[in-house]
Structure 1
Amino acid sequence: MLSRIAESLFWIGRYTERADATARILDVHVERTLADPWIDENAVTTSLLAVMGTTVDPSVGRVGRRELLEKLAYDPVSSSSITGALGAARENARRARETVSSDMWESLNTTWNALASGRWRSASPHRFFSWVRERTAVVSGLVDATMSRDDSWQFFVLGRSLERADMTARLVATRAVGGTGTQWPLLLRSCGAYEAFLRAYQGSSTGAAGEQHAAEFLLLDRLFPRSVVNALNVAEGCLVAIDPQQRRVGYAEDARRIIGQARTRLEFQSSEQLLSDLHPQMRGVQEACSAASQAVAERFFPAATAVSWTAGRS
């Protein structure tokens, strides 16, 4: 297939997943600040922006909920924001119009038109985030229901899986932003994982044992689709399907090697080790996803310029 079509599908997968995960992270943050009146909102918001890879102008002074939402929810230009990511997904779908299904295009176009109208700015943040999650779920469902399992679908799922691993790592990293620990049940709910977690462990996610089990579930569980290890496994499978060449030594693609190294670093550590060194571990996952995305671009989109999320990362 044409490299420009493959690139568009790859970034549609990344951008829709980014919008979904950013909505989940912001929903956790807003709920947290509303529930705790003693929280230092400026410190927590600044830390969250740093986790999300967004810089703050020092001249702004104190940064609160309004500035956070402008940067990560409503900004139509930045691909780090929900609105910007969905706009970029729609633009990539327009470029690959001959390949994506009509249902998928109409869903992305309808979503963008609703955002461009500005009516969601007047809604409560929770309602807006819930709507974003519903719309991105519709897009993913239409992709799975209307696309053949050929290279087009593989590139979409590859992009979605890399972004999912990256964003789950960011979500887990928000557990201690601002110096106060977020409760694991809140993180599990933000991933839609709470009920699945309870079925898997038949117990609470509070206390030392509960935190360990929750970390295992979000990072290491091979069956839950939003866990980091599951997402990296799916990404590896997509790369094998796209280019199934076998070599006697090593791997043909740098991306597969990078993803495999990141996955094994997680899988062969105990949950106690992960919890004791959580932030560096999550940063390592984010760096691996960025490096793998760059390697995919160099291998399959040689004429394209990598799309940058923030300076120094793609």
Structure 2
Amino acid sequence: MLSRTANNLFWLARYMERAEATARLIEMGQRMALLPGPKESNEWRSVMMAAGAVDAVDGDKAVSEARVVKTLLLSADNPTSVRYCMERARANARAVRTSLTQQQWETLNDGWRRFEKMTTSEARKNLGDHLDWVKTRTATFRGATEGFMLRNDRYDFLHLGGYIERANMTLRLLDVKYYVLLPETEVVGGGRDHYQWRSILLALSGHRAYHHNYAGDYSPWKITDFLVLSPRFPRSLKFCYGGIRLHLDRLAEHYGERHECCKTADEMLERLNTKDLGEIFQSGLHEFIMGAIGTTYRLSDEISDAYHF
């Protein structure tokens, strides 16, 4: 397969996952901002910081919902905005149209101009509906991929991009909690704190899955372990790296060569397998997240180098 085809498939999946994750970030910010407290504006700031939109945060000034919607939903220039990601996903899909099924293409092509002329005030009126639309589009594309795509190297590159981005964004969603708590540590362990942790589960559609494992115990360290170490939850870091290693192994078998990216994925999985319950939270959640994000970025670069894109 041509390296440019692999590149387009890899980034198509990354942009789709990023669009969904950004929508989930905004949704989580909405839930957190509804909570009363002395730092109501901080929730929106944490969303911007976790999305990597640091340039859009003006010093210590309050970050409004309008600013978040403009930057993370409607911006045509911000690489983490929903509009940008959906447009780039479709552009990548056009470049590899013959590698996709009809169902995949129709999913990407339907309503892709939705946010092109929408104003911030218009978006805010029905923000929940717009976020649900994004999540439905990405879920439909994922279903079309699993239901109709041939299981070859194209399938593997598509899934590699998806798992890389999903791992990165799960870590960023967890890091929202760090930014929220940083200026108001007195609320740790309180009702507001627990609601914020539950909001992270809701943002990742993991609330019911978590309940099956831990019932009504929403201890922060258990939620952390679930989102990082669960081998069964599809958005956990460990599950994502398991998927990455699976598709790297398939590509290595297909092309008859293993690369440095295979070693990096193996090392990360080994690191996760040796973590004891509660260890990540006790030893420093933010430090672990930053290290894992760095590893994920490095892995993405190594995959690009290995397959020449």
TM-score normalised per structure 2: 0.88
Q: Of residues 278, 293, 298 in structure 1, which corresponds to 2:285?
A: 278
- Range 118-127 or range 20-29, more displaced: 118-127
Deviation at 1:37, TM superposition (A): 5.4
SS in structure 1 at match of 2:209: helix
**Residue identity in the other structure for 1:186:** S
Question: Could you list the per-position Cα deviations for residues 99-157 of structure 1 after superposition, in whole angstroms to 9, with x for gaps in the alignment?
Answer: 11122112111131223353872542222111111111011111111111111111111
For 2:56 and 2:140, locate their aligned partners in 1 and report how far apart those are by CA, in whole Å: 36
TM-score normalised per structure 1: 0.86
For 1:58 and 1:3, locate their aligned partners in 2 and report how far apart those are by CA, in whole Å: 37
**Residue identity in the other structure for 1:188:** L
Structure 1 residues 246 and 273: CA distance shift in structure 2, 3 A: farther
**Contact 2:19 2:85 (8 Å CA) reproduced:** yes
For 1:157 and 1:57, locate their aligned partners in 2 and report how far apart those are by CA, in whole Å: 31
Are residue 2 (structure 1) and residue 2 (structure 2) matched? yes
SS in structure 1 at match of 2:99: coil
- Show structure 2 runs of 5+ residues with no match: 185-192
Structure 1 residues 272 and 246: CA distance shift in structure 2, 3 A: farther
Identity %: 24
For 2:220 and 2:271, locate their aligned partners in 1 and report how far apart those are by CA, in whole Å: 20
Are residue 140 (structure 1) and residue 142 (structure 2) matched? yes
**Contact 1:22 1:82 (8 Å CA) reproduced:** yes
**Residue identity in the other structure for 2:44:** T
For 1:111 and 1:285, locate their aligned partners in 2 and report how far apart those are by CA, in whole Å: 35
**Contact 1:219 1:229 (8 Å CA) reproduced:** yes
**Contact 2:23 2:73 (8 Å CA) reproduced:** yes
**Contact 1:73 1:83 (8 Å CA) reproduced:** yes
Question: Could you list the per-position Cα deviations for residues 69-108 of structure 1 after superposition, in whole angstroms to 9, with x for gaps in the alignment?
Answer: 2111111222211111111110000000111112211211
**Contact 1:164 1:226 (8 Å CA) reproduced:** yes
RMSD: 2.2
2:204 corresponds to = 191
Q: When the two structures are aligned, how many residues end up with a matched partner?
A: 294
Structure 1 residues 111 and 282: CA distance shift in structure 2, 3 A: farther
Are residue 288 (structure 1) and residue 290 (structure 2) matched? no
Which 4+ stretches in 1 moved above 6 angstroms? none
Deviation at 1:211, TM superposition (A): 2.4
